Amino acid sequence: MNHEKNIIELKNITVRFDGETVLDNLNLTIRDGEFVTLLGSSGCGKTTTLRIIAGFLEPDEGEVFFDSKNMNGVPAHKREVNTIFQRYALFPHYNVYDNVAYGLKVRHVPKDEIRERVMEMLRLVNLEGFAKRSVAKLSGGQQQRVAIARALVLKPKVLLLDEPLSALDAKLRKDMQVELRNIQQATGITFIFVTHDQEEALSMSDTVVVMNEGRVQQIGAPEDIYNEPQNAFVADFIGESNILDGIMKEDFTAQFSGHTFRCVDRGFAPGEAVDIVVRPEDVDIVKPEDGMLKGTVTSVTFLGVHYEIIVDIGGFKWMIQTTDYAGVGETVGLSIDPDAIHVMKKSKYSGLYGDYSTFSDEMEEMNQMSEELAEEYAEELAAERTEEAGDGAEEAGK
């Protein structure tokens, strides 16, 4: 593996359906041997991107390069990438062995070699004893392993994973995250992983690509994405954030919430309006007289490792995660270190996020559930729509 080599390049990719843009001038470079995650919510275009790489979709505009070779017009079965599908798409009429052997058989690999490689693969995914088992009788996790074995046995240069963990329960999901990461490191194959789960993205990847509305919002290492979000969308999508309107007085000095703070950012025009992001765990609760800001606690939730405390300061509800307890109604001071203050240029996402005044645990939970459902549906819909555009035009011509 060669981390300096670009294995996949997407240049100015645009995909439209009925005038609706699914991917908007997308540029993406993926280095050899990386674990890259495309992260975003429903309809952000992450699955469409994956399908373009796999060859199931052709972009309206732009070019796809593998190893600097233009792949436009090359059909899926001639591309050296393999895909793990969301619901695995195992072949129901074959047993585990024949599923894994499928790609080798299609390539007319000698029988002995097929046997050897399939068994080796089954060992790798811990399914040695399951060769003759019908895939319908496997658990979700086992089916997942078969799908991985079926793809990896072909030694692809790139493995595409389309939300492969979304059908598993929470515990199994954690295990599979570790296992996938191990497999990726052991084989050195480039993984392109699609998910809407930010925790999954942060814990597994070398590089995270945050997408929204068909555009890349930020590309970077998980730490950079979390610590230095480029705009309010990324800040809100990755982790919890307090996002406030502020003004950059001068380099290293920002003003928000009626107070002037020292910070570590520079390069803004003096007096420029900016978005300020402060992570809830970066705020310390201190005595009112020691705090830079003062406010009243409006809610306290015990979450095991820490408390989640909402503090009202001038009408803005701050979310704070701390191990220190403060009672509801208490007046407390807030203290923020300079390096905990992230200053971002104003973007189209400014003002959309950040206040917790309507926040409640129950709502968050409900939103998460419906979001996951909507996500699955919308992704499929978006993919279908892009295909439909072709069909629709054709049918209209009839």
Partner 1 sequence: MKKVLGNIFMAIIYFILYLPLIVMLIFSFNAGRSTSVFKGFSFKWYAELFTNSAEVGVPVRNTLILAVLSAVIATVIGTAAAVYIYYVRSKAWKNTLNTVTNIPMMNPDIVTGVSLMLLFVFVGRLVGALNSLNFFTLLIAHITFNIPYVILNVLPKLNQTDPHLAEAAQDLGSTPTEAFFRVVLPAIMSGVTSGFMMAFTLSLDDFVISYYTTGTDFQTLPLFVFNMVKKPVRPHIYALYSIIFLLVLVVLLFTNISGMKEKREKH
Partner 2 sequence: MKNRTFLRRIIGAPYVLWAAIFIVIPLLIVVYYSFTGPDGSFTLDNMKNLSDYGQIFKISILYSIAATVISLILAYPFAYVMSRKKEKTQQIMMVLVMLPMWMSLLILTYSWMNILERQGIINTLLGKLGHAPLNLIGTPAAVIFGMVYNYIPYMILPIYSVMSKIDPSVLEAAEDLGSGSFSKLYRVILPLSMPGVVSGITMVFVPSVSTFYISQKLGDGKILLVGDVIERQIQAQNNYNMGAALSLVLMVLIVLSLALMKLFAGESDENLYV
In the complex, which residues of this chain contact partner 1 (CB under 8 A)? 54, 56, 75-77, 81-83, 85-93, 102-103, 106-107, 136, 150-151, 154, 380, 384-385, 387-388, 391-392, 395-396
Shortest spacing between CB 75 and partner 1, in angstroms = 7
Shortest spacing between CB 78 and partner 2, in angstroms = 11
Q: Which does 60 bind (CB under 5 to 8 A by kind): partner 1, partner 2, none?
A: partner 2
> Which of 118/274 has CB closer to partner 1?
118
What region, left, alpha or beta, does residue 246 occupy, with left being phi > 0 and alpha being psi -120 to 50 degrees?
A: beta
Please give the size of the binding site for partner 2, defined by CB under 8 A.
Answer: 13
Asked if 90 contacts 99 with a C-beta cutoff of 8 angstroms, the reply is yes
Strands (E), 143-292: 158-162, 190-195, 207-212, 215-220, 242-250, 253-256, 259-262, 272-278, 283-286
Residue 385 to residue 94: CA distance in whole angstroms:
31
Shortest spacing between CB 68 and partner 1, in angstroms = 23
Shortest spacing between CB 94 and partner 1, in angstroms = 8
Q: What is the CA angle 371-243-279, rounded to 5?
A: 85
Shortest spacing between CB 333 and partner 2, in angstroms = 55
Of 6, 9, 11, 16, the one binding partner 2 by CB under 8 A: 16
Shortest spacing between CB 395 and partner 1, in angstroms = 4
DSSP secondary structure letter of residue 134: B
Cα torsion 210, 211, 217, 219 to 10°: value is: 40
Q: Which does 58 bind (CB under 5 to 8 A by kind): partner 2, partner 1, none?
A: partner 2
Q: Which does 97 bind (CB under 5 to 8 A by kind): partner 2, partner 1, none?
A: none
Cα torsion 229, 232, 237, 239 to 10°: value is: 60
Residue 23 to residue 126: CA distance in whole angstroms:
38
Q: For residue 343, what is the enclosing H or E element?
A: strand 341-345
> Which of 87/346 has CB closer to partner 1?
87
Q: Could you say whether residue 121 binds partner 2 (CB under 8 A)?
A: no
**Residue 347 has which token pair?**
């973007």
Q: Which stretch binds partner 2 (CB under 8 A): 177-185, 282-290, 336-344, 381-389?
A: 381-389
One-letter identity of residue 180:
L
Shortest spacing between CB 370 and partner 2, in angstroms = 21
Q: x/- contact string, 69-98, with partner 2 (CB under 8 A)?
A: ------x-----------------------
By the 10 Å C-beta count (0-12 exposed, 13-18 middle, 19+ buried), 355 is classed as middle
Q: Could you say whether residue 54 binds partner 2 (CB under 8 A)?
A: no
Q: For residue 28, what is the enclosing H or E element?
A: strand 20-31
Positions touching partner 2 (CB under 8 A) are 15-17, 57-58, 60, 75, 386-387, 389-391, 394
